[in-house]
Amino acid sequence: MHERRYDAVVIGGGSAGLAAALALREAGRTAAIVEREPFLGGILMQCIHSGFGIHEFGVDLTGPEYAERFIGRVLAAGIDVFLDTTVMEIRPRGERRELTALSKRYGVVRLSAGAVVLAMGCRERNRGNVAIAGSRPAGVFTAGLAQRLVNIEGCIPGRRAVIVGSGDIGLIMARRLTLVGCRVLAVVEIQPYPSGSVRNIVQCLNDFSIPLHLGHVVTRIAGRERVESVDIAPLVDGRPDEARSFRLDCDTVLLSVGLVPENELSRAAGVPINGDTNGPYVDADLMTGAEGIFACGNVLHVHDLVDFATEEARRCGQRAAAYLGGGARAGASAAQSKVAPGANVRYVVPNAYVPGRENVLYLRPMIVKNDAVLEAAIDGAGIRKRKLAHVQPSEMIRLVLRADEIPAADPARPNLMEVSIR
Amino acid sequence: MFDVAVIGAGVSGAAIARRLSAHVVSVALIERAVDVSFGVSKANSGIIHAAFHHEPSTLKARLEAAGNPMFDGLQAELGFPFRRVGIVVAAFSEEEMKTIEVLYARGVANGSPGIEIAGRDRILGLEPKLNPDVRGGLFAPSGGIIEPYRFAFALVENALANGVRLFTGWNVSAARRIADGWHIESEKGERIEARWVVNAAGLFADGVSALFGAESFTISPRKGEEYILERGCAGLPSRVVFPVPARNSKGTLVIPTVEGTVMLGPTAEEVGDKDDVSTTPENLERVFDLAARMIPQVSRRDIITSFAGLRPALPGGDFYIDLSRRAPRFVQVAGIQSPGLTASPAIAERVKGLLEADGLALPPKRDYVATLPRAPRIRELSADRLEPLVAEDHSHAHVVCRCETVSEADIVEAIRKGHTTLDGIKFYTRAGMGRCQGGFCTYRIMQIVARETGMPIESITKRGGASALVVGRLGAGGTA
């Protein structure tokens, strides 16, 4: 058995885990990363397309290039890395937390940590979650699994594909499959607007003449052994219009139908989960409802851009380091007030703010609208308005509130901050 | 020349082969699919029924009542997942309560141990998640839950250890009478000779019967769709919850599976096609409406997967288990739909008796081993048992499927037991059965299968035949 003691243990070595661990180390804390894959970098390592790092580094990088910029620093900083290691359990032990992990390399691993940072990322929603009817042949993949099969395992998943959902991974995979000789017949999106970015619609679909069927659903997958066809129908009043249904012969179906933060480990550790994000509730320091357990990146809420996951994780690492130091946390947490989603906002993360310091909020709209106005208000009194040219649910909004914009807490009032979009 | 060839390695055929393996006879177990239980059995609801649904005059009622109590002993010997959680039948009207009385009387006549009619408070006490509108119902404590494929795998594994030979991917296409029995050929031209033949071919028992010139009957596939909800979800009951049954089916149930997920279903629908295992949006609606009437907390948000299976129904609905009157040395085991899983150990006893009566000598095998050595699985081990195991072999600590906690060692064990398809490994280990449905573990399992078997990755299939998972490799031929 392998036993070690650290100031902080970070679970997950993807973009969030790497940035959180570095921030902890830079603040003078000992830290370890536990990663279940045999390499660091997480999902970035299968994202061989570009589009990463514009905000973080001011350059356009591929996923592995983006990851490499952190991995080199993590290794140089003396952060211990446990690869091929899966955390099975987190439980409090006195003032500290004990983690039990299973590892192909080290066997049973027990780690003691003052602080734990959850950075496990998310998983893909699958066919069962969206209940597509029909038979259950081979050839149905989530888009991320197909991406892994192509870009890391070097396999070609099929010859003729239909992609369900126009999320960014689905769009990227439409192009990727085309480039490996698989014909992509259609991308089918249930919403009347695309879920992915405009850039990906142009570069991954339009440039390759791949049709995008908005407001359509796949009603049936057919095939005995391997997929043979799918039926696609337009949605009318929320129901498929069978009369206008059409069939595409294909051997592959890719599902890009959303991501779910992976919080089974968190739940088992007693971390309260927010039904709006499927991630933990966190305070202004990104600490969850369980003492000493922090969360950042896609395990907290699903980000659109890795750059923002990195930013959030860096802040999480800094706050966890301050928590380990004691003083700063005691002062800050005493002054926290709640943040809640207001009109047309699905969620805001974090779920609390601190007056007198900069607060960065991430929020997701519930509506599609041009010329929208974003407003933050405390107990009904506006503190910030911002015009937004366009909002849609698939684009996260980042709101930075300066220290001087936030009034000191009034002990006679709830001090509830609401963020709304109109 | 085998003494007995059993056609069909579903739960009936598997139970028969294992039962015969206790005697000094040579047995061939022949399966058309690539793996055991891949026909009717794998889509079974996994209920050990409590002998109150069927009239005492039927063969199925007798074999159900005889089979039910045999599962404790079988579990002790073979170690498959099985729990007697009890069955609750929920009645929502006075009229339904009248049917409850009929079921109770049948249960008493069939010898269902401990069966009782329960009032509203009693039934809600037995299953607190029931809709509070419930009037009362039936409680049958002898009912249980099981994983049907794990049961079939365990039976076959034990049968093989006792000398039975298994032929998978072996589709019987011709048969002719020879002096001392039967000559059987497969689609691919393979041959097996056997003195006796048992027809346990499930959906295809009618075709097999015809090939042997035996009785003419028709198996009508009746489809059942099932929906699986995530482990530990709000809709998880503590007992199997039945509605008051309709005419041709036991109705749509809410089942707490032995692994902690919830199964809703099955539907019952006559279909013409013996390959039609598709699910439909209409039945999804229907199943959830019916299930929510009993357990209001079931939610479509918790669905992780769905599937459909086919019941091999004979006209009249009873089992047909007898020596053929037309073909010599040919035993019919046909029409084995519900409660076939419950009845299977009793079916095996009956078939053994029929063979003996027909002249097959069955001396006991001295070195018969009824128990199955159980490979340790990490999901079933406590920490203090896991540590020494891992210290010996780190592949027990390589978590391949994180939703169901399946290790590399578990996967390798499945492969060495002959399960080399993704579905075979899934049913054997549960890898890929959890909430992410293989999103994480699929490629890892493919790598392990390729390494252990030497198969190229593009010939690894989901369930045999043309169900390859990938169609080629990048840079095949050495170029990038």
CA separation (Å) from B402 to B382, B406, B407? Answer: 17, 7, 9
Helical H segments across A326-395, by residue range: 327-334
Say how far apart CA B168 and CA B156 lie, in whole Å: 12
Q: Give residues with Cβ within 8 angstroms of B25, minimum separation 6.
A: B3, B4, B360, B361, B362
* pLDDT value of position A327: 56
Mean pLDDT of A355-363: 93
Ranges of CATH 3.50.50.60 domains, chain A: 1-124+258-334, 126-257
Size of interface A-B (CB pairs under 8 A): 142
Query: Do residue B467 and residue A225 have CB atoms under 8 angstroms apart?
Result: yes
- Quickly state the pLDDT bin for B146 (edges 50, 70, 90): very high
Q: Give me the architecture of the B2-41+149-219+316-357 domain, per CATH.
A: 3-Layer(bba) Sandwich (3.50)
Q: Give me the architecture of the A336-422 domain, per CATH.
A: Sandwich (2.60)
Query: What three-state secondary structure class fits B353?
Result: helix
* pLDDT value of position A39: 97
Domain residue spans in chain B?
A: 2-41+149-219+316-357, 83-142+220-312, 378-459
| CATH superfamily placement of domain A126-257 | FAD/NAD(P)-binding domain (3.50.50.60)
CA distance B388 to chain A (A): 9
Query: What three-state secondary structure class fits A59?
Result: coil
Catalytic annotation, pick one of B23, B49, B53, B419: B49
Taking the alpha carbons at both ends of chain B, their separation in whole angstroms is 53
CA distance B30 to chain A (A): 21
Query: Do residue A155 and residue B472 have CB atoms under 8 angstroms apart?
Result: yes
Give the pairing of strands B27-30 and B165-167: parallel
Residue B479 has pLDDT above 70, yes or no: no
CA distance A171 to chain B (A): 18
* pLDDT value of position B60: 98
Q: Give residues with Cβ within 8 angstroms of B110, minimum separation 6.
A: B51, B52, B54, B56, B61, B62, B64, B65
* pLDDT value of position A131: 87
B305 contact residues in A (CB cutoff 8 A): 126-128
With beta carbons less than 8 A apart as the criterion, state whether A77 and A33 touch: no
Say how far apart CA A8 and CA A11 lie, in whole Å: 10
With beta carbons less than 8 A apart as the criterion, state whether A277 and A303 touch: no
- Quickly state the pLDDT bin for B77 (edges 50, 70, 90): very high
Q: pLDDT > 70: what percent of chain A?
A: 98
Q: Give residues with Cβ within 8 angstroms of A183, minimum separation 6.
A: A159, A160, A161
Query: Do residue B387 and residue A219 have CB atoms under 8 angstroms apart?
Result: no
Say how far apart CA B304 and CA A194 lie, in whole Å: 25
Going by CATH, does the domain composed of B83-142+220-312 fall within 3.30.1370.60? no
Which of B228, B442, B470 is facing A156, going by the closest CB pair? B470
Which residue, among B374, B313, B369, has the nearest Cα to B338 in the 3D structure?
B313
- Quickly state the pLDDT bin for A1 (edges 50, 70, 90): confident
Query: Do residue B399 and residue A86 have CB atoms under 8 angstroms apart?
Result: yes
CA distance B247 to chain A (A): 27
- Quickly state the pLDDT bin for A334 (edges 50, 70, 90): low
Q: What is the pLDDT of residues B5-14, one digit of tens each?
A: 999 999 999 9
* pLDDT value of position A333: 56
Q: What is the pLDDT of residues A291-329, one digit of tens each?
A: 999 999 999 999 999 999 999 999 999 999 999 987 555
Indicate if B394 belongs to the active site: no
Q: Is the peptide bond between A234 and the residue preceding it cis, with omega within 30 degrees of 0?
A: no
What the block records as the tokens of A376 is 């933050």
Mean pLDDT of A231-248: 95
In CATH, the number for domain B378-459 is 1.10.10.1100
Say how far apart CA A286 and CA A299 lie, in whole Å: 12
* pLDDT value of position A330: 52
Q: What angle do CA B417, B421, B424 make, to 5 degrees?
A: 60
Taking the alpha carbons at both ends of chain A, their separation in whole angstroms is 57
Q: pLDDT > 90: what percent of chain A?
A: 91
With beta carbons less than 8 A apart as the criterion, state whether B265 and B252 touch: yes
Residue A144: closest C-alpha in chain B: B439
- Quickly state the pLDDT bin for B478 (edges 50, 70, 90): very low
CA separation (Å) from A292 to A287, A322, B300? Answer: 7, 11, 35
Which residue, among A156, A188, A163, has the nearest Cα to A255 in the 3D structure?
A163
What the block records as the tokens of B111 is 């010898």
- Quickly state the pLDDT bin for B41 (edges 50, 70, 90): very high
Q: What is the pLDDT of residues A258-301, one digit of tens each?
A: 999 999 999 999 999 999 999 999 999 999 999 999 999 999 99
Q: Give residues with Cβ within 8 angstroms of A54, minimum separation 6.
A: A60, A307
Instruction: Please identify, in words, the CATH class of the domain defined by A1-124+258-334.
Output: alpha beta
- Which residues on adjacent β-strands are paired with residue B312? B221
Residue A177 has pLDDT above 50, yes or no: yes
How high is the ipTM of this complex? Answer: 0.93
A127 contact residues in B (CB cutoff 8 A): 305, 437
Residue A409 has pLDDT above 80, yes or no: yes
Residue B57 has pLDDT above 50, yes or no: yes
- Quickly state the pLDDT bin for A198 (edges 50, 70, 90): confident
What the block records as the tokens of B137 is 């119902």
Q: Give residues with Cβ within 8 angstroms of B23, minimum separation 6.
A: B362, B363, B364, B365, B368
Residue A57: count of CB within 10 angstroms of its CB: 14
Q: What is the pLDDT of residues A82-101, one digit of tens each?
A: 999 999 999 999 999 999 99
Query: Do residue B462 and residue A126 have CB atoms under 8 angstroms apart?
Result: no
CA distance A377 to chain B (A): 33
Least confident of A22-36, B86-100, B176-190, B269-283: B269-283
Residue of B34, B394, B408, B446 to mutate when probing chain A, most A C-beta within 10 A: B394
Query: What average pLDDT does the structure give for chain B?
Result: 95
Which of A133, A138, A144 is facing B279, going by the closest CB pair? A133
Residue B480 has pLDDT above 60, yes or no: no
With beta carbons less than 8 A apart as the criterion, state whether A422 and A376 touch: no
- Buried-exposed string A370-395: b where 16+ CB fall within 10 A, e elsewhere: eebebbbbbeeeeeeeeeeeebbebb
Query: What three-state secondary structure class fits A102?
Result: strand
Which of A100, A108, A135 is facing B277, going by the closest CB pair? A135
Q: pLDDT > 90: what percent of chain B?
A: 92
With beta carbons less than 8 A apart as the criterion, state whether B280 and B288 touch: no
Q: What is the pLDDT of residues B180-193, one digit of tens each?
A: 999 999 999 999 99
Residue A331 has pLDDT above 70, yes or no: no
Query: Do residue B439 and residue A144 have CB atoms under 8 angstroms apart?
Result: yes
B461 contact residues in A (CB cutoff 8 A): 138, 225
Residue A385 has pLDDT above 90, yes or no: yes
With beta carbons less than 8 A apart as the criterion, state whether B218 and B334 touch: no
